[in-house]
A and B are shown apart, each in its own frame.
Chain A
Amino acid sequence: MDVFLLAAAQIATPLTLIAIVAGTVVGVIVGVLPGLGSVLGLTMVLPFTFSMPQIPAIALMLGVYCGSVYGGSITAIVLNTPGTPQSAATAMEGFPMAQRGEADLAIGWVTAGSTLGGLFSVLVLALAGPLLARFSLQFTPFEYFALALFAMTCIAGVSSGALAKGLMAGGLGVLISTIGADPVTGDMRFTFGSFQMTAGLGLIPVIVGLFAISEMFLRVLDLDEAKPSGAAMRVGFRLPSWVEARKRGGPLLRGSLIGSFVGALPGTGAATAAFIAYSEARRTSSRRDNFGKGEPDGLVACESANNAVTGSALVPTLALGIPGDPVTAVMLGALVIQGIAPGPMLFVDHLDLIYGIFAILVLVNLVMFATGALGAPLFTRVLRIPEPILIGLILVISTVGAYGVNGSLFDVWIAFGAGVVGALIRYFGYPVAPVVIGMVLGPTLEMSLRQGLILGRGDPTVFLERPITVALLLITAAILIWPLVRYLRARLG
């Protein structure tokens, strides 16, 4: 009971409440602007968290995360252009509704669906997080090695069509994480005579470069393309009637369950959850003939799914310290900067913080509903900001983000270099998400491998004596081998 009271006291401060509202509003705006995405939104607010206390900093990040996932649906409805990848499925039903003059009702459906899906995921986090943390207290270096390898392979395999490019990106991320002092012996590695490199390459500057700066560099390639304007579309907010809403309970629940399950898996995210939920809604709906013409079943399913990911994605991040996607990787980096070490001990030593996060997520989802209800017409106005101006402004704030971590100009140059490399590799189809995940998981991979070998007195077969480790290694091997099997079957078949 004391923990609950402490968590409530931490939330009920003006700074935390301001952070929740500000973060949600910024997140929705970022989500509305096509192509920016949750990761860029998080990197933009990151510098604001450096000097904030833990709870308001987390509140700001969670507000941006949830708000950006929801915000993309507004653009999807108004312009048939998803503001974020998570909202691609929303456009399929939302835009037809807008075309027949029901944009306000579509926004009402997605706002309600997102809020309820998000609240459902908080329940999942509250139930599954402590269970997973308790279960993982039994984990030894062997299990952590296999789990990190499994997560890396999933992310590398899912994030782009070419497994080889994904694995190379992930591998390079892990290699970058080895720069600096060896965690076991203290020997310097790959510093190439540079004093600044002895601390390694900072995760935040690399994230800022790979996601924010490279995105701005690539956007100028499409500046001449005609983009749809939302100026002609009247945007409002209207909730559906209770009679209509009651019919969509099934898609809402199924979407929330799918989003919660998918969100906890590494390598998958809100976009995957939204499409799976949409397909499932189409398959099971009694109104499936209306799909593609503006059927609320589809809207509710994909929006509840993509917001249900937000809480469940935090389950492995907080309980194991293993991020499942770039968004949670950025959040994990921010938590570390705040002095919070994600992992099973977080649920033992910092229960007040955990309950605080649950409470923040509930509040964020409620504020998101209010933001959508009150602000939907306003947010679409940001689409009128000319892109050349927006690019300059985003590059400035991103640079502050890179600088603010350590107050070092070296980090600014790291971000710039990562931006140039990121633009080049993204143009040729290399995903950048595995690079970031590799940097985050690299230390876990290496430390658990070397600790395992120390425990096994140098014998690598000791990794095969633990059932969970073997199971995870087999699944990882299957993920790696399956594309080759499919290729051979296609050639022979």
Chain B
Amino acid sequence: MSDSSPSEPALSGEGGSTWGRRVEIGLTLLILGAILVFLAATFGRTSAFAQASSGRGPFFFPRILIALLLILVPFLLAGAVRHGRALPLQKPLARMLSLIAATGAYCALIGLAGFLIASVLFAMAVPLLLGRRDVVLLAALALPYGAIVWLLFEKVFLIVLPASPWPIGF
């Protein structure tokens, strides 16, 4: 990951604040969108028993809640417009996004290759992504750590962790 060069806009300072404001406004609008999706879902079909309930049915409380949340949205938008937090610099932001992607891949790999294999690979991959290059040390840490966690949960606490599809016992 390279540091931002003079030709690329930095994501801090004035420009960063503007982008930060935009992202925060986008986040607020995303929250608003999620609230509206929930609101739309409250107009689904309900049972006759629910409609007759003087506890006012299953969507009575959510609708009150959603109405209160919608009242808050303008205040949040006003705050986002007035005060923008600068976005992180490119390098740390790219690092964070790559860690998020790696964690997502790890979650998917657990289901495909089993907990132990996925965890050992992930425990090695994260420090490599974050700049470490001592592969031997990372392997020496990741293998026993993954194995200990797996043993503890599978054999001691009897919490069955996802296994790999291959007949290797883990």
A residues whose Cβ falls under 8 Å from a Cβ of B: 47-48, 50-52, 162, 164-165, 167-168, 171-172, 174-175, 178, 182, 184-187, 189-190, 192, 213, 216-218, 220-224, 386-389, 391-393, 395-397, 399-400, 403-404, 407, 409, 412-413, 416, 419-420, 423-425, 427-429, 445-446, 449-451, 453-454, 457-458
Q: How far is the CB of A139 from chain B (nearest CB, A)?
A: 19
For residue B55, which residues in chain A have a CB less than 8 angstroms away from its CB?
184-185, 450-451, 453-454
In the complex, the answer to whether B76 meets A164 with C-beta atoms within 8 Å is yes
Q: Are A453 and B100 in contact (CB under 8 A)?
A: no
Question: Which listed residue (A167, A391, A416) contacts B72, Cβ 8 A?
Answer: A167
Tell me whether B138 is interfacial, beta carbon within 8 Å: yes
Report B-chain residues with C-beta under 8 Å of the C-beta of A407. 159-160
Query: How far is A184 from B129 in the complex, measured between Cα atoms in Å?
Result: 49
Given contacts A168-B69, A178-B62, A416-B103, contact A453 B110 (CB under 8 A): no
B residues near A454, Cβ cutoff 8 Å: 53-55
B138 vs chain A, min Cβ distance (A): 7
The residue from A387, A423, A457 contacting B54, defined by CB atoms under 8 A apart? A457
Q: How far is the CB of B163 from the nearest CB of chain A, in Å?
A: 12
> 6 tightest A-B contacts by CB?
A392-B126, A450-B55, A388-B130, A182-B58, A185-B50, A388-B127
Report whether A399 and B75 are in contact in the complex, using a CB–CB cutoff of 8 Å: no
Residues in A neighbouring B60, C-beta threshold 8 A = 450
Q: Which residues of B contact A168 (CB under 8 A)?
A: 31, 69, 72-73, 76
Closest to B128 in A: A388
CB distance from A238 to the nearest CB of B (A): 35
Question: Of A50, A52, A190, A450, which is within 8 A of B38 by CB?
Answer: A190
CB-CB contacts of B61-86 with A at 8 A, as 1s and 0s? Answer: 11001101100110110011000010
B130: chain A residues within 8 A (beta carbon) = 220, 223, 387-388, 391
Flag B18-49 by CB within 8 Å of A: 1 or 0 each: 00000110010001000100100100001101
Q: Give B contacts to A, CB under 8 Å.
A: 23-24, 27, 31, 35, 38, 41, 46-47, 49-50, 53-62, 65-66, 68-69, 72-73, 75-76, 79-80, 85, 88, 91-93, 95-96, 99-100, 103-104, 106-107, 110-111, 115, 119, 122-127, 129-132, 138, 141-142, 145-146, 149, 152-153, 157-162
CB of A99, distance to nearest CB on chain B (Å): 32
- Contact sample, A vs B, 16 pairs, CB 8 Å cutoff: A175-B69, A223-B92, A223-B131, A386-B127, A389-B126, A389-B138, A391-B130, A392-B125, A395-B126, A396-B145, A399-B119, A403-B110, A403-B162, A404-B153, A450-B61, A451-B55
Contact of A217 with B41 in the complex, beta carbons under 8 Å:
no
Q: A412 touching B107 by the CB < 8 A rule? A: yes
Contacts of B79 in A (CB 8 A): 162, 164-165
B138 contact set on A, CB distance < 8 A:
389
Closest residue of chain A to B104, judged by CB? A416
Chain A hits for B61, CB < 8 A? 178, 445-446, 449-450
Task: Return the contact of B159 from the options A50, A213, A220, A416 (Cβ within 8 A).
Answer: A50
- A261 vs B23: C-alpha distance in the bound complex, in angstroms? 41
Our count of residue pairs bridging A and B at CB distance below 8 angstroms stands at 188
Determine how close the nearest CB of chain B comes to the CB of A479; give it in whole angstroms. Answer: 15
Report the minimum CB–CB distance from A396 to chain B (whole Å): 5
Q: Indicate if the CB atoms of A396 and B149 lie closer than 8 Å.
A: yes
Let me know if A397 and B149 touch, CB within 8 A.
yes
Q: Is the CB–CB distance between A187 and B58 below 8 Å? A: yes
Q: By the criterion CB–CB under 8 Å, are B76 and A392 in contact?
A: no
- B47: chain A residues at CB < 8 Å are 185-187
The residue from A165, A174, A185, A400 contacting B53, defined by CB atoms under 8 A apart: A185
Q: Nearest CB to that of A452 among chain B residues?
A: B55
A223 to B95, Cβ gap below 8 A? yes
Residues of A within 8 A of B59 (CB): 189
Known: A171-B72, A393-B123, A396-B149. A185 touches B99 (CB 8 A): no
* B72:A164 contact, CB within 8 angstroms: yes
Cα distance A165–B31 when bound, in Å? 11
Measured between beta carbons, the chain A residues less than 8 angstroms from B49 are 185
- A169 to nearest B CB, angstroms? 10
Report how far A386 CA is from B61 CA in the complex, Å: 48
Docked CA distance A387–B127 (Å): 8
Min Cβ gap A329→B in Å is 19
Within 8 Å by CB of B110, from A217, A387, A399, A429, lies A399
Partner among B31, B38, B100, B152 whose Cβ is within 8 Å of the Cβ of A217: B100
Chain B residues near A50 (CB-CB < 8 A): 157, 159
| A45→B46 CA distance, assembly (Å) | 41
A72 vs B99: C-alpha distance when bound (angstroms): 27
Which of A409, A429, A450, A451 is the one whose CB lies under 8 Å from B111?
A409
